[in-house]
Amino acid sequence: MPPRPCALCEKARAMIKRPKTGQQICRDCFFYVFETEVHNTITEAQLFKSGDRVAIGASGGKDSTVLAYVMKTLNERYNYGLNLFLLSIDEGITGYRDDSLETVKRNQQQYKLYGWTMDSIVSQVGRKNNCTFCGVFRRQALDRGAAMLNVDHIVTGHNADDIAETVLMNIMRGDIARLGRCTAICTQGDDTIRRSKPFKYAYEKEIVMYAYFKKLDYFSTECIYSPDAYRGHARAFLKDLEAARPSAIIDIIHSGEAFEIKEEIKATQKVQQTCQRCGYMSSNTFCKACTLLEGLERGMANAGITDRGTKQLQAEGPTPENLRTIPFFEYKPTSTSTTIDIEAS
């Protein structure tokens, strides 16, 4: 049987079957359609404007490595006029983050999680709720690192699989507040840096294929603390759905986009305010990061995870002055600065 020709150019031999569409195409056409789809996502959502200083959240993994490469490629091809930076957060996970940061080449900024490493946090809270601490601390650390670089925008490598998993998680938890915003491609508070997901519609399998065929240098080891995470259940369920129906990932995202929260439900949601301790956005008097950190410092590590635990923490009285706290957050956007270019490897 002769080799099947590419379904797009009809000239080269088909080497890849796209997980997203089932098309059998050649390598060059795969690169082109993958990059073009990301470009269409960026332009249709109007994510950037010329002159923006954009920080790419870089972990050294496949998603952020491909994101950095594609952002640089598209910036040059379509003349976006962006100033690109790499920004990494060191959570302090021995054998994982210290190794993965070795693959983040050039122009990186690293920040610890407010005096605690994830290894030390896990030793206090165990492996059941550790991802809560990592997610909350890392998100705020990323904003703080970006503010220090005076950037206008943060882009992260969250892909279609990640977003579909989040939709499923919020449904299973009955989290109405997050369900209403988890599919948004771009988010921004009044006092936070604009954050977006250019890979919102990009399948994880295609990102891996892109990295493989481009021979990009990335770190592929899974976080040693993630197997026990709640997200793992949603991920396993999603993989089963994808095996039966490849379009399930995009279908779930579109379903999430179509959700409408009733006005009476919106009225019960907490209004965003500013944390009185660190100045970061919060729906309570103190933000989640400050609450979690206080629990760690007081030796009540799990107290900041649930509302009930937070009340127990508050019952202990005022925060002792000798405890470590998060520095005050102040975001001052700037429109002029020196460009730092990203060299794709």
> pLDDT confidence of 27, banded at 50, 70, 90?
very high
- Per the annotation, does 171 bind a ligand? no
Lowest mean pLDDT of 92-101, 158-167, 168-177, 316-325, name the range.
92-101
pLDDT of 340 higher than 70: no
- Per the annotation, does 63 bind a ligand? yes
- Per the annotation, does 299 bind a ligand? no
Can you give the pTM of this predicted structure? 0.83
Q: Buried b vs exposed e over 27-53: b needs ≥16 C-beta within 10 Å?
A: bebbbebbbeebbebbeeeebbeeebb
- Per the annotation, does 248 bind a ligand? no
Contacts of 112 (CB under 8 A, 6+ apart): 90, 92
Q: What is the 3-class SS of 258-324, one letter each residue?
A: HCCCCHHHHCCCCCCEECCCCCCEECCCCCHHHHHHHHHHHCCHHHHCCHHHHHHHHHCCCCCCCCC
pLDDT of 256 higher than 70: yes
Could you tell me if 161 and 203 are in contact, meaning their C-beta atoms sit under 8 angstroms apart?
Answer: yes
- For 111-161, what is each residue's pLDDT tens digit? 345 677 888 888 888 877 788 888 888 888 888 888 888 898 999 999 999
- For 5-19, what is each residue's pLDDT tens digit? 999 999 999 999 999
- Per the annotation, does 191 bind a ligand? no
- For 294-336, what is each residue's pLDDT tens digit? 888 888 877 777 777 777 777 777 777 778 788 887 766 554 3
